Structure 1
Amino acid sequence: MTVYYVNSATGSDGNSGTGLKSAFATLSKVESLKLKPGDSVLLAKGSVFNEQLDIKVSGSEGAPIKFGSYGTGAAPVIHGTGDGIHSLYATNIVIENIKISNVGGAAIYAGNVSNWTVRNVEVDKSGVSGKSGSVTFRTGENITIENSKIANVHGDGVWIEKVNGVKFLNNTVTNSHGTAADGVQMNDSSNILIHGNHIDQTGAASPKGVLTLIRPVNAVVEDNVLTGGGFGISAQAGKTVTIRDNDISGFKGYDWSFAVALGETGTAKDYDISGNHIHDGAWGVVVTAPIGSPSYARTNINVHNNTFDDLSGAALKVDRPASGSFHDNTIEAGTTATNISPAIQDAHTFPVSNNHTVANVEAATLAAADATAATTTEAAADPAVSAVHDSLKILTDTGAAHHGNLLENDSSDNGTLVLRHFDGETVGKNGLTLTGEYGNIHVERDGSYAYTLDETKLPAHDNGHVSENFSYGIDDGTSHHSDTDALTVYVHLDDLLK
């Protein structure tokens, strides 16, 4: 297993590449190597490579080939007139800790590949030649994209097609531009997990949608923040699809805009849509199809335990033959509960029951969260290091910091928890201060945080309704690192910008 170093500033392609002082200079030199399973190619931080990286070799399942970075400073950057990284038929590849910016084509394009992991990769302004700037995987299996940031690309932010085994975890995708561009689109894929992401189309030019799944099989979409776009989640023609515990808002711009929709492009079966907060948009959950479209089956569509507020349309719309139920949902006063066609009502195939109306969803949600936190505090510790998502809701602001603790609802086997990493940075003994999209946050190793909103950063067109995500990692003080969790800050200041 060999480690090769590449430094665009001080390296030379005449070097051996196997030492810090004998680094290569170019990616083309790397392509000439006969890399073997377990080998690594590390790009020097601060380096800039004006060329495409072609990956034509494969690792093995237990020894992938890794492409990453070394040193200190800014992540190494790949940009050029073609794709950033291009590969066909390669297997067992890891790409991590690099930046791909201002490339003419796709940031990453891989076809007929398997067992790829893309982590801690930043993509910015790809597709500048007018071609799609997506992180693209076409045909393959076992693709993981995690803890990465994708912003301001031309075309879909992420495009997955015909892949069995997709994990899309804890990523941020912002402003995928183009009349046909979605934040994330996955077609004809199966065994999908989409978890912990923040996908935001609020500032996209000609925004289409946030998340599109076409013909998904065995898909779970959970704990994501989905903002803006013409629609939130379009999950068409799927089988066994779970959409739960997401925050979906800002879906507007068209009279048909929706938070979640299915039923348009094929048979849909066994959907569980639950625990979502759907707000500040047009329609909620929609089961529909264009007039004159084929008669597809829509069976066992279970919509329950969601919260709906600030919708111009109904929380549920069903205007095509379907079976399922709408029950135990919370609906804010002033939002229409259902819009179900008379024919479906007469058929009794989509019963409505046990839903309740509240005067103020935010107040009810905060009260429930307080009750849950109290219960969690009193519960016995989980016998493993584990973390639970945190959220901060800012409904009023006086300019003072908003305080909380990330570790209050987390647990470990020895009763000791330490915040080690926050949004990719190490939390030192003096804590860590970061500038977010809408404010500044300071965190300490004991999990305490203080978030100060910067009202000058709030976009006027959102009327004070925005959100941002921070990821973090904990351990029990003995290097047993937990899964990455997230803090989501919701800002809902209705009168701020009026």
Structure 2
Amino acid sequence: MTIYYVNSATGSDRNGGTGQNSAFATLSKVESLTLKPGDSVLLAKGSVFNEQFDIKYSGTESAPIKIGSYGTGTAPVIHSGGDGIHSLYASNIVIENLKISNTGGAAIYGGDVTNWTVRNVEIAKSGMSENAGAVTFRNSKNVTVEDSKISDVKGDGFWIEKVSGVKLLNNSVTSASGSTADAMQVNDSSNILIKGNHLDQTHAVSPKGGIALVRASDAVVADNVLTGGGFGISAPAGKNVAIHGNDISGYHGYSWSFAVGLGDQGSARDYDISGNHIHDGAWGVAVSGATGTSYSLTNIKVHDNVFDDLTQAALKVDRPASGSFYNNTIETGVKATSISPAIVDAHTFSVSNNHTVASVETALASTEAKVAATTEAVSDPAVVAVHDNLKIFTDTGEAHRGNLLENDSSDNDTLVLRRFGDEAVGKHGLTLTGDYGSIHVDREGNYAYTLDETKLPDDHSGHVSESFKYGIDDGTSHHSDADTLTVFIHMDGLLS
């Protein structure tokens, strides 16, 4: 396992490259090497490389090849008239802590690759030819992109096509502004998790939108914030798609603009659209399609969402479809439904138990509570919560930290903390006051417990404890479990 160093300012391709004082100067020199599993290529911070970097060799699952950075200062930058980083057929690759900008093609392109992780990469002004997504993967397996920033690109922020196993987590895309550019486009892919991203198309010059999820199988789109563009989430065809907990707004550029739309590029079945806040737009959820299409649209559930400040109806159904629209909250002034008479007469799309409110503020809190209620403890082997303990022996006044989910498990490797105590865990977390201190938790399961010594009993021997119940699910709300965090406070020596 060898570490190779590359420094565009002080390196030389005549060097050995295995030390910071003997760094290479160019990426092309690295390409001439036969990289082996476990090798790392580290680019000096402050370096600028005006060349495409081709990754030709594979790591293993236990020993991936890593491309990263070293030193101090700004992240190393790759510029290129072609792609920034390009690879075909390589497997088990990690790319992290870089910047890629001003590329003619994609910032990162992977074709027929397996087990790639991209994290903490900044991408700007890529795809100047407008023919590529900033991050493009095709015909691949197990691709994760997380904690990365994409801005001012002339194409899709992400273009994912025919990939089995996609995770797009906690990324930001700002102004993917090509003429056909979406912030994220995922086509013909499966086992998809799009979670915690912030997608802002407010200033994009395009009728496109936030997320285009086309012909997806087994997809979860959760807890994202989407602003602007022609639409929020277009999921026009697919099966087993869950869209929940998203905040979608500002998509009112066109009369057809929608927050969530489906039905115009193929059949769709088993969609669960729930717990979203949909506001400042045209249509809410549109079950629609081009005139003359005969796609099958079945089991489309739209429930427990909040709709406000819409110029059109919260629900539009103008093509034959089966499903239900229930337990939604709709602000006064927003039309609840626009369903074609033929569908009404067919009784295939039911409407029940929706509520009209003057203000959505209290309704949002109510919706969070409804979503959290789905995590009540049940026997469900797909998600397993394990009891957590926090033991406090000494106290400096600082918070005592841990994570509730690290010892829990789920079949799809995704866990979300939905309820803590008797309250829902919102997007910004939750703070509760207990018997002996206060605790803050977030949806990722992180907690910080701060002891209040004034609440401890006068008898400073032995210990006291308090417990907090919590509920988790697998990101889909289909599988859930619950358990308890117990805080043990040992007072011997804690107080004087």
Deviation (angstroms), 1:131: 3.5
Superposed CA deviations along residues 245-300 of structure 1, whole A, max 9, x for unmatched, are 0001111111110000111111101000000000000000011111122x111000
- Aligned residue in 2 for 1:442: none
Say what the alpha-carbon RMSD is for the aligned residues: 2.6
Mapped contact 1:84–1:108 kept (Cα < 8 A):
yes
Mapped contact 2:304–2:370 kept (Cα < 8 A):
no
Superposed CA deviations along residues 345-376 of structure 1, whole A, max 9, x for unmatched, are 11111110011011001243357779999xxx
- Aligned residue in 1 for 2:323: 324
**Residue 441 of structure 2 is aligned to residue 409 of structure 1:** yes
- Does 145-154 or 132-141 show the bigger shift? 132-141
Distance in 2 separating the partners of 1:342 and 1:262: 19
Q: How does 1:168-317 map to 2 (within 5 A)?
A: 168-293=168-293, 295-317=294-316
Mapped contact 2:403–2:447 kept (Cα < 8 A):
no
Mapped contact 2:427–2:442 kept (Cα < 8 A):
no
Distance in 1 separating the partners of 2:282 and 2:368: 26
Deviation (angstroms), 1:128: 2.2
1:414/1:148 CA distance change after superposition, 3 Å: closer
Q: Structure 2: which amino acid aligns with 1:136?
A: T
Deviation (angstroms), 1:134: 2.0
Mapped contact 1:176–1:207 kept (Cα < 8 A):
no
Q: Which structure 2 segments of 5+ residues have no match?
A: 373-385, 390-401, 406-416, 418-424, 430-437, 451-496
* SS in structure 2 at match of 1:97: strand
Q: How does 1:376-387 map to 2 (within 5 A)?
A: 383=389, 385-386=403-404
TM normalised by structure 1 equals 0.76
**Residue 128 of structure 2 is aligned to residue 110 of structure 1:** no
Q: How does 1:444-463 map to 2 (within 5 A)?
A: none
**Residue 72 of structure 2 is aligned to residue 72 of structure 1:** yes
Deviation (angstroms), 1:11: 0.7
Superposed CA deviations along residues 417-458 of structure 1, whole A, max 9, x for unmatched, are 69xxxxxxxxxxxxxxxxxxxxxxxxxxxxxxxxxxxxxxxx
- Aligned residue in 1 for 2:333: 334
Distance in 2 separating the partners of 1:173 and 1:413: 25
- Aligned residue in 1 for 2:148: 148
Superposed CA deviations along residues 161-200 of structure 1, whole A, max 9, x for unmatched, are 0000000000001110122111100000000000100011
Superposed CA deviations along residues 295-321 of structure 1, whole A, max 9, x for unmatched, are 111000011000000000100000111
Distance in 2 separating the partners of 1:289 and 1:11: 58
Distance in 1 separating the partners of 2:254 and 2:274: 25
Q: Structure 2: which amino acid aligns with 1:79?
A: H
Mapped contact 1:299–1:324 kept (Cα < 8 A):
yes
Mapped contact 2:42–2:68 kept (Cα < 8 A):
yes
1:240/1:371 CA distance change after superposition, 3 Å: closer
1:244/1:263 CA distance change after superposition, 3 Å: same
Distance in 2 separating the partners of 1:133 and 1:338: 36
Q: Structure 2: which amino acid aligns with 1:362?
A: E
Q: Structure 2: which amino acid aligns with 1:296?
A: Y
Q: Which structure 1 segments of 5+ residues have no match?
A: 374-379, 394-405, 419-498
Mapped contact 1:136–1:159 kept (Cα < 8 A):
yes
Distance in 2 separating the partners of 1:41 and 1:13: 14
- Aligned residue in 1 for 2:26: 26
1:372/1:245 CA distance change after superposition, 3 Å: closer
Q: Calculate percent identity across the aligned residue pairs.
A: 68
TM normalised by structure 2 equals 0.77
1:190/1:203 CA distance change after superposition, 3 Å: same
- Aligned residue in 2 for 1:51: 51
Distance in 1 separating the partners of 2:178 and 2:58: 34
Q: Structure 1: which amino acid aligns with 2:316?
A: K
Distance in 1 separating the partners of 2:184 and 2:218: 17
Q: Structure 2: which amino acid aligns with 1:138?
A: R
Mapped contact 1:382–1:413 kept (Cα < 8 A):
no
- Does 364-373 or 313-322 show the bigger shift? 364-373
Superposed CA deviations along residues 91-135 of structure 1, whole A, max 9, x for unmatched, are 110000000011111101111111000100000001224442421
Q: Structure 1: which amino acid aligns with 2:230?
A: G
- Aligned residue in 2 for 1:449: none
Mapped contact 2:196–2:223 kept (Cα < 8 A):
yes
1:367/1:236 CA distance change after superposition, 3 Å: closer
Distance in 1 separating the partners of 2:446 and 2:240: 39
Distance in 1 separating the partners of 2:332 and 2:124: 42
Superposed CA deviations along residues 126-156 of structure 1, whole A, max 9, x for unmatched, are 1224442421001010000000001111111
Mapped contact 1:381–1:415 kept (Cα < 8 A):
no
What is the number of equivalent residue pairs in this alignment? 400
Q: Structure 2: which amino acid aligns with 1:359?
A: A
* SS in structure 2 at match of 1:273: strand
Mapped contact 1:411–1:417 kept (Cα < 8 A):
no
* SS in structure 1 at match of 2:106: coil
* SS in structure 1 at match of 2:10: coil
Mapped contact 1:248–1:278 kept (Cα < 8 A):
yes
Mapped contact 1:386–1:410 kept (Cα < 8 A):
no
Mapped contact 1:270–1:299 kept (Cα < 8 A):
yes
Mapped contact 2:83–2:106 kept (Cα < 8 A):
yes
Distance in 1 separating the partners of 2:445 and 2:84: 44
Distance in 1 separating the partners of 2:292 and 2:368: 45
Deviation (angstroms), 1:85: 0.6
1:267/1:412 CA distance change after superposition, 3 Å: closer
- Aligned residue in 2 for 1:100: 100
1:360/1:408 CA distance change after superposition, 3 Å: same
Distance in 2 separating the partners of 1:323 and 1:202: 33
Q: Structure 1: which amino acid aligns with 2:165?
A: G
Deviation (angstroms), 1:337: 0.4
Q: Structure 1: which amino acid aligns with 2:172?
A: T
Q: Structure 1: which amino acid aligns with 2:440?
A: E
Q: How does 1:394-405 map to 2 (within 5 A)?
A: none
Deviation (angstroms), 1:207: 4.0
Q: Which has the higher strand share?
A: 2
Q: Structure 2: which amino acid aligns with 1:361?
A: V
- Aligned residue in 2 for 1:166: 166
1:242/1:414 CA distance change after superposition, 3 Å: closer
1:26/1:226 CA distance change after superposition, 3 Å: same
**Residue 115 of structure 2 is aligned to residue 124 of structure 1:** no
